[in-house]
């Protein structure tokens, strides 16, 4: 038997005697964004243990159209202005892993208050103005704020959770 065939034979015997192992790389759970969530998604996500969930109650459109006359042209404005300002701030802050004060990953659930489920959730949580953000930790309501806060104040709100 040549030395190369002997080495191959020994390598086969050793490889069958040693169990195969895999390298596993673990990272922190990534935050999730649930846009226009329904009641079922809301219940599932806010009840997840070990997560911090921000629920953004916002209005996609105002009920009555607001027409703005600007330089002799009429513009139809259908978006809730404060909701439009706050939305990208919440999305950016919740996308940063482990940025809450508790170190928990942050999920963002967006509820359109014009939907049937959104209306029911607004009633359940006594949402009176837009936007309203409610924070849940391990399924329990822990804090909330109303209005389009500036980014530093939203960050402070998240840090205190």
Asked whether residue 15 is domain-assigned, the answer is no
Asked if the structure places residue 134 within a domain, the reply is: yes
Q: Tally the domains of the chain.
A: 1
Residue tagged active-site, from 83, 148, 149, 154: 83
Instruction: Determine the angle formed by the axes of helices 151-159 and 81-95, rounding to 10 degrees.
Output: 50
Share of the chain above pLDDT 70, in %: 66
Pairing of strands 52-58, 106-112: parallel
Query: How far is residue 161's CA from residue 156's CA, in Å, rounded to a whole number?
Result: 9
* Residues of the domain holding 153: 29-159
Beta strands 140-146 and 132-137, pairing class: antiparallel
Q: Is residue 4 part of a domain?
A: no
Residue 72 reports pLDDT greater than 60:
no
DSSP lists the bridge partners of residue 53 as 107, 136
Residue 81 lies in a domain: yes
| 11 domain residue, yes or no | no
State the pLDDT at residue 24.
42
Stretch (H or E) spanning 135? strand 132-137
pLDDT tens-digit map of 3-28: 666 666 665 665 555 555 444 434 44
**Bond prior to 24 in cis (omega within 30° of 0):** no
Reply yes or no on whether the pLDDT at 58 is more than 90.
no
Active-site residue flag, 122: no
Please report whether residue 140 resides in a domain: yes
CB 55 within 8 A of CB 111: yes
User: Does residue 1 surpass a pLDDT of 70?
Assistant: no
- Residue 145 included in any domain: yes
Known active-site residue 83: yes
pLDDT in tens, 27-56: 445 568 898 899 999 999 999 888 889 999
- Whether residue 7 lies inside any domain: the answer is no
* CATH code of residue 128: 3.40.30.10
Give the whole-angstrom CA distance, residue 92 versus residue 117.
Answer: 25
Q: Which of 31, 54, 80, 90 is catalytic?
A: 80
- Give the rounded percent of residues in the chain with a pLDDT score beyond 90: 41
Lowest pLDDT segment from 9-23, 28-42, 102-116, 119-133: 9-23
Give percent helix, percent strand, percent coil of the chain, each to the nearest 5. Answer: 35, 25, 40
Identify any residues that bridge with 55 across adjacent strands, giving them in sequence order.
109, 134
């Amino acid at each position: 038997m040549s030395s190369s065939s002997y080495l191959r034979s020994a390598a086969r015997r050793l490889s069958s005697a040693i169990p195969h192992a895999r390298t596993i790389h673990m990272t922190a759970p990534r935050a999730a964004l649930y846009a226009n969530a329904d009641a079922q998604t809301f219940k599932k996500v806010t009840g997840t243990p070990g997560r911090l969930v921000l629920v953004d109650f916002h209005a996609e459109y105002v009920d009555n159209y607001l027409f703005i006359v600007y330089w002799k042209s009429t513009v139809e404005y259908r978006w809730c202005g404060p909701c439009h300002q706050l939305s990208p701030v919440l999305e950016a802050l919740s996308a940063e892993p482990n940025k809450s004060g508790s170190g928990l990953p942050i999920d963002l659930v967006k509820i359109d208050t014009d939907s049937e489920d959104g209306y029911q959730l607004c009633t359940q949580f006594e949402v009176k103005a837009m936007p309203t953000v409610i924070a849940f930790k391990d399924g329990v309501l822990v804090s909330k704020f109303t209005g389009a806060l500036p980014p530093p104040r939203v960050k402070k709100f998240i840090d205190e959770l």
